């Protein structure tokens, strides 16, 4: 079973602490959502947990191996990463972009082995990209591009997934489709850590939700315990009402609370 | 179009161009004469014409083009923009500066390898500056401006050298380095530069797979398992070695490193990795053909190959720059 375990992980930029002693473990079969206001340190936490940026303290291990010391390709085969910023320099074909997910297996574009082709085919199918496979990226809509990025992450067939804000700037239907892809990946035995700004999506799809604010990470809890009116007020400074009907949450954001009741966030 | 077919076609075109270059000139050679010479026969006169004059010159154009085409394609992949190229980024100018420096302060006389090494040092210095700038900024404009700065600086220092050099130093020598030419190149000139050129190209080809994933940005590429620092180092070193070797043969020849990748990349799914070899071959063919044109042009003094390359390439550069848009982000 694959597992990412961070213990008291800290990240500093100069004198500023971006992440303060954050501990989180997630494993196969779990969908963990990471919530928090802008500047809370969510992205820095994920990057440092994966060993993509240096940490200033603590530890982060993938199945017992320090992520900072794992060779990049070895790490990529254990955990796939979809960053928040997703630029594309060239108008590649969709199939080629998805095939880039196989990079850590030594795959070169135009020379896919049978395993690679199968994984790419499965990922294209999982994200409903079959009909778009031969289109070029510059002809796709934002929602279609989001599916392409999702597919290239799935194509790596890594047991774990770290995804940073996968649904920003997407219409509701695409938001739910992307979350469905991730949910299906987890139901199929994968583990996912998903940074989200949408509390409702987090409450609806995640098995556990954890809050991060001013660099501090709270323990992950089931959505009903983590997503409360008090937590939303404390973390976002928003007055909200939260209700549950069966397994489906309803969250209404009412108004920003007056400033003094909020702790200032660390950085924008 | 198939990658293999494209490469085979361009390889055949390269061979045909070099062969044609052996035929053309004041002494007419028939194809059968030239073939006889190339396969070890032929008259002594014909052998001199082919081996001492035409073949090394044609091969020089081909190799210089290949070095610049591959460097351009690799730098474009690394810096994620289609305007990167040794000439535009000032790498060639700094390399030429290194070479002139070695020549006019007399270092070059101390050993045959000094000149190519000085050219490579100049190229590497510029490539490192560009790569450092590229790490700090995502802006294409910044990189091009850094390149403009490096080119202007190299030109200014060269002008300064004309005043300071202990050896008499003619404007025409400086013009030779800044405008670029493969006239009067001999096999020994090529052999000196060849190991560096080969090492540079080998590095670029070894690192080409990483260029594919860089389309997703450096963060995603690192997440996919690319060793970023190693990738940057390989491309910077490879492009520096290849460009430096090219400049030590022919001086500064610009724009061919932009034009060739721009033409081949769309044929290969816009993949910088797969377009590396065809870009090298096509750039080689372009320069070899342009050099035949230079030799045939009825001008009083022979045109410089670099001038012809710029005349054809600069408008293409402007065209690419004007219609460029990023796909996303």
Measured in residues, chain B has a length of 329
> For residues B51 and A12, what is the distance between their CA atoms, to the nearest angstrom?
64
Q: What would the mean pLDDT of B91-100 be, rounded to a whole number?
A: 91
Residue B105 has pLDDT above 90, yes or no: no
Q: Are B253 and B309 in contact (CB under 8 A)?
A: yes
- Cβ-based neighbours of B12, under 8 Å, separated by 6 or more: none
Model pLDDT, residue B167: 64
Share of chain B above pLDDT 70, in %: 94
Length of chain A: 268
Task: Give B 173-212 residues with CB within 8 A of chain A.
Answer: 209, 212
Rounded Cα distance between A18 and A16, Å, is 6
List pLDDT tens digits, range A20-35: 999 999 999 999 999 9
Sign of the CA dihedral with A148 first, then B268, A71, and A13 last: negative
Separation between Cα atoms, residue B132 and residue B140, nearest integer Å: 13
Return per-residue pLDDT of chain A as tens, 268 residues.
Answer: 899 999 999 999 999 999 999 999 999 999 999 999 999 999 999 999 999 999 999 999 998 999 999 999 999 999 999 999 999 999 999 999 999 999 999 999 988 999 999 999 999 999 999 999 999 999 999 999 999 999 999 999 999 999 999 998 899 999 999 999 999 999 999 999 999 999 999 999 999 999 999 999 999 999 999 999 999 999 999 999 999 998 899 999 999 998 755 555 544 4
Q: Considering only CA atoms, which of B316, B313, B319, B294 is closest in space to residue B305? A: B294
Contact assignment for A156 to B216 by CB distance below 8 Å: no
pLDDT tens, position by position, A43-92: 999 999 999 999 999 999 998 999 999 999 999 999 999 999 999 999 99
> CB of B312 within 8 A of CB of B263?
no
CA distance A38 to A21: 19
| pLDDT number for residue B328 | 47
Rounded distance, CA B184 to CA B186, Å?
6
Tokens 């340190």 locate to A41
Assess contact for B93 and B303: CB atoms under 8 A.
no
For residue A214, the distance in angstroms to the closest alpha carbon of chain B comes to 23
- Identify the closest residue of chain A to B327 by CA–CA distance: A138
**Across A75-79, B93-97, B301-305, which has the greatest mean pLDDT?**
A75-79
Nearest chain B residue (CA) to A102 = B224
Beta-bridge partner residues of A163: A82, A194
Please tell me what DSSP assigns to residue B26: S
Token pair for residue B207? 């690192």
Strands (E) in A148-237, as ranges, are 160-164, 191-195, 208-213, 216-217
The reported pLDDT for the residue numbered A268 is: 42
Write down the pLDDT at residue B131: 81
Between these two residues, B221 and B325, which has the higher pLDDT value? B221
Q: What pLDDT does A188 receive?
A: 95
Q: Quick one: tokens of A37?
A: 């206001």
Select from B3, B274, B329 the Cβ nearest to the Cβ of A88: B329
pLDDT in tens, B8-19: 999 999 999 999
In chain A, which among 135-194 make CB contacts under 8 A with chain B? 136-138, 145, 152, 156
CB contact under 8 A, A108 and B273: yes
Closest CA to A161 of A263, A27, A39, A258: A27
Distance CA B79, CA A43 (A): 24
Query: φ, ψ for residue B90 (rounded to 5)?
Result: 85, 5
Q: What is the per-residue pLDDT for A17?
A: 94
Inter-residue contact B3 to B274 (CB < 8 Å): yes
Distance CA(B288)–CA(A169), nearest Å, equals: 50
Phi-psi domain of A71 (left: phi exceeds 0; alpha: psi -120 through 50; beta: other): beta
pLDDT for residue B323: 78
pLDDT in tens, B38-76: 988 889 999 999 999 999 999 999 999 999 999 999 999
Closest alpha carbon within chain A to B229: A72
Q: What is the mean pLDDT of chain B?
A: 89
Distance from CA of B272 to the nearest CA of A (A): 9
Q: How confident is the model at residue B329 (pLDDT cuts 50, 70, 90)?
A: very low
**What is the structure's pLDDT at A266?**
47
Of the partner residues B216, B222, B265, the one whose CB lies closest to the CB of residue A72: B222
Summarize the confidence of residues B79-92 as an average pLDDT. 88
Distance between CA atoms of residues B242 and B230, nearest Å: 18
Q: Across the interface, do A136 and B270 touch by the CB < 8 Å criterion?
A: yes
Q: With an 8 Å Cβ cutoff, are B226 and A52 in contact?
A: no
Residues A19 and A210 sit within 8 Å (Cβ to Cβ): no
Average pLDDT, whole number, for chain A? 93
Tell me which residues of chain B, numbers 257 to 276, contact chain A at a CB-CB cutoff of 8 Å.
Answer: 265, 268-274
Give the β-pairing of A160-164 and A191-195: parallel
């Amino acid at each position: 079973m694959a597992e990412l375990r961070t213990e008291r992980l800290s990240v500093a930029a100069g004198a500023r602490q971006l992440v303060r002693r954050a501990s989180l473990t997630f494993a196969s079969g779990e969908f963990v959502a990471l919530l928090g206001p802008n500047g809370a340190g969510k992205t820095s936490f994920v990057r440092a947990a994966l060993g993509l940026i240096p940490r200033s303290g603590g530890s982060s291990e993938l199945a017992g191996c320090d992520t900072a010391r794992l060779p990049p390709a070895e790490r990529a085969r254990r955990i796939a990463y979809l960053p928040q910023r997703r630029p594309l320099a060239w108008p590649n074909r969709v199939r080629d972009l998805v095939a880039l997910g196989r990079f850590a297996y030594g795959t070169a574009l135009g020379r896919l082995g049978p395993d690679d082709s199968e994984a790419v085919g499965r990922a294209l199918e999982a994200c409903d990209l079959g009909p778009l496979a031969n289109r070029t990226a510059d002809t796709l809509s934002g929602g279609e591009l989001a599916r392409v990025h999702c597919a290239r992450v799935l194509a790596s067939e890594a047991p774990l997934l770290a995804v940073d804000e996968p649904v920003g700037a997407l219409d509701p239907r695409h938001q739910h489709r992307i979350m469905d892809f991730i949910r299906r990946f987890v139901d199929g035995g994968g583990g996912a850590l998903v940074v989200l700004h949408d509390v409702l999506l987090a409450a609806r799809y995640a098995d556990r939700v954890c809050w991060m604010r001013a660099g501090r990470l709270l323990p992950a809890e089931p959505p009903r315990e983590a997503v409360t009116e008090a937590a939303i007020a404390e973390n976002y400074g928003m007055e909200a009402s939260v209700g549950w009907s069966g397994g489906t949450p309803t969250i209404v954001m009412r108004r920003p609370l007056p400033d003094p009741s909020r702790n200032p966030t660390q950085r924008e | 179009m198939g990658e293999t077919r494209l490469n085979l076609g361009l390889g055949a075109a390269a061979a045909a161009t070099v062969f044609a270059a052996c035929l053309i000139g004041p002494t007419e050679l028939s194809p059968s004469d030239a073939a006889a010479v190339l396969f070890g026969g032929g008259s002594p006169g014909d052998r001199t014409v082919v081996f001492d004059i035409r073949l090394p010159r044609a091969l020089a154009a081909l190799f210089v083009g290949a070095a610049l085409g591959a460097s351009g394609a690799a730098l474009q992949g690394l810096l994620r923009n289609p305007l990167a190229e040794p000439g535009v980024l000032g790498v060639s100018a700094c390399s030429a500066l290194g070479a002139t420096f070695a020549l006019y302060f007399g270092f070059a006389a101390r050993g045959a390898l000094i000149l190519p090494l000085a050219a490579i040092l100049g190229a590497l210095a510029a490539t490192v500056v560009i790569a450092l700038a590229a790490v700090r900024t995502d802006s294409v404009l910044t990189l091009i401006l850094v390149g403009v700065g490096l080119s202007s600086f190299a030109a200014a220092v060269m002008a300064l050298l004309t005043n300071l050099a202990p050896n008499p130093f003619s404007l025409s020598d400086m013009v030779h380095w800044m405008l670029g030419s493969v006239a009067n190149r001999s096999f020994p000139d090529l052999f000196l530069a060849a190991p560096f050129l080969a090492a540079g190209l080998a590095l670029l080809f070894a690192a080409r797979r990483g260029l594919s994933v860089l389309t997703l940005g450096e963060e995603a590429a690192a997440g996919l398992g690319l060793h970023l620092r190693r990738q940057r180092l390989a491309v910077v070193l490879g492009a520096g070695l290849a460009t430096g070797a090219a400049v030590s043969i022919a001086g500064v020849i610009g724009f061919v490193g932009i034009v060739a990748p721009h033409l081949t990349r769309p044929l290969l799914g816009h993949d910088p990795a797969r377009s590396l070899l065809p870009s090298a071959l096509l750039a080689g063919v372009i320069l070899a053909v342009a050099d035949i044109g230079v030799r045939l042009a009825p001008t009083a003094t022979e045109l410089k190959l670099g001038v012809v390359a710029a005349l054809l390439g600069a408008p293409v550069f402007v065209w690419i720059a004007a219609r460029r848009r990023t796909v996303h982000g």
